[in-house]
Amino acid sequence: MAWAAHKVPLPELVEAPDEIDQKARQLAGLIRQSKHFIVFTGAGVSTSAGIPDFRGPDGAWTLQAQGRQRTTAAVSTLQAIPTATHMALVELQNRGLLKYLVSQNCDGLHRRSGILPDKISELHGNNNREICKDCGKEYIRDFRAVADYTKSIHDHRTGRKCTRCGGLLHDTIINFTESLPERELTLAYDHAKKADLCLVLGSSLTVSPANDIPEVVGKRRRRGAKLVICNLQATPLDSMANLRVYAKTDELMVNVMRELGMEIPGFILQRRLSVHVEAAGQGKTRRCKVTVSGIDVDGTPVSFLRSVKLVNNRRVLRAEPFEFDLRGDAAEGGLELKMELEFMGHYGEPNLEVVHVVEGAEIGIPAVYILEYNPYNGEWKATRR
């Protein structure tokens, strides 16, 4: 907790490179042998992306305890590029080795990096995720979907409404004294009870009840479960660890992936675009309705578009829902829609033109495009799924 931060932070320790290499080999071996491998992450996995931690020498809570202001600007979580650690975990997930990820981080980088929504519990919330308390519908945003807390830190209303039921949307951030989300916590415990290997990356393990998750694994040490902790500072669970690594998480994970013979993928911003064409009207009044929207892999709505424009159409839609009402009978087939998409631009994404051809048999069936943006060369790639 912030009020429990030390004015004099615990020292950060870094082991010699050869020691880290040796422990990376040990960890790689444990990962190969594991049947249910889980990872628990804290702020330390995002520091190399320019996002400060909390309890380090320049951590947010350390500075608060010392009455100091930050002297170097932090990178916006919306512009931060996922680190080597983030992308290594994505590759381990995609290879089927990482079964589940439990995170204390609110920066949204795990989801943005490619961790699937059913593979993660974000115990303290996500700055980019809001939820309808009435029907449970979730929304991922490419902006900070956080309440302003002007009335109370426990008033999580964001001011937006659910498009499914009209209920009020709430942010998912967990403030001090608030309970963790029941579903995410239950899933985290379930996976911890099944885990034969838990890797802690960049967490001080001092925040309860989140720190109970790796402890569940540590207490099953006599039954063969293994706990590995990588953090620069000492943690309360160090005595339970089978392997303790004092290193930055990127340094450890780069070495681990090399030992596993796996390449860490570069970050590609992935977006899923849904284009839904529906017929409307009859006879001379036949029309078609075109709805353009962002979706996640599980169908969760994702807000990443600033505007949508149909080429040769004057109208530019600058707010969701992006719906066009066009003249003509789309059921005849051959309808060609040229859409110019404008993005939020956190990574400098340029506009993208997508050409969507509608055949008669596809009317009423949403088409999905996979949009991939490479922030290193500024290029888009669009593929119809």
Contacts of 340 (CB under 8 A, 6+ apart): 308, 309, 310, 311, 351, 352, 353
Rounded CA-CA distance 344/140 in Å is 13
Asked if 245 and 232 count as a contact pair (C-beta separation under 8 A), the reply is no
Closest by alpha carbon to 111, among 135, 137, 141, 132? 141
- Residue 67 burial by Cβ neighbours in a 10 Å radius (0-12, 13-18, 19+): exposed
What would the two tokens of residue 135 be? 């029907």
Cα-Cα-Cα-Cα dihedral sign, residues 50, 54, 56, 62 = positive
**Residue 234: what are its φ and ψ, rounded to 5°?**
-65, 150
Rounded CA-CA distance 288/275 in Å is 12
- 209 upstream amide cis, omega within 30 of 0: yes
What would the two tokens of residue 359 be? 């055949």
Task: Say whether 135 counts as a known binding-site residue.
Answer: yes
- 301 upstream amide cis, omega within 30 of 0: no
Task: Say whether 288 counts as a known binding-site residue.
Answer: no
* 3-state DSSP assignment of residue 17: helix
DSSP label of 376 = T
Rounded CA-CA distance 8/55 in Å is 10
**In terms of DSSP H, where are the helices of 54-173?**
60-66, 84-94, 109-113
Amino acid letter, residue 85 = T
Cα-Cα-Cα-Cα dihedral sign, residues 214, 233, 204, 146 = negative
DSSP label of 137 = -
Residue positions annotated with a catalytic role: 124
Angle of helix 249-260 versus helix 17-33 axis, rounded to 10: 60
Closest by alpha carbon to 232, among 47, 31, 34? 47
Binding-site residues from annotation for Zn(2+): 132, 135, 162, 165
Instruction: Write out the binding residues.
Output: 132, 135, 162, 165
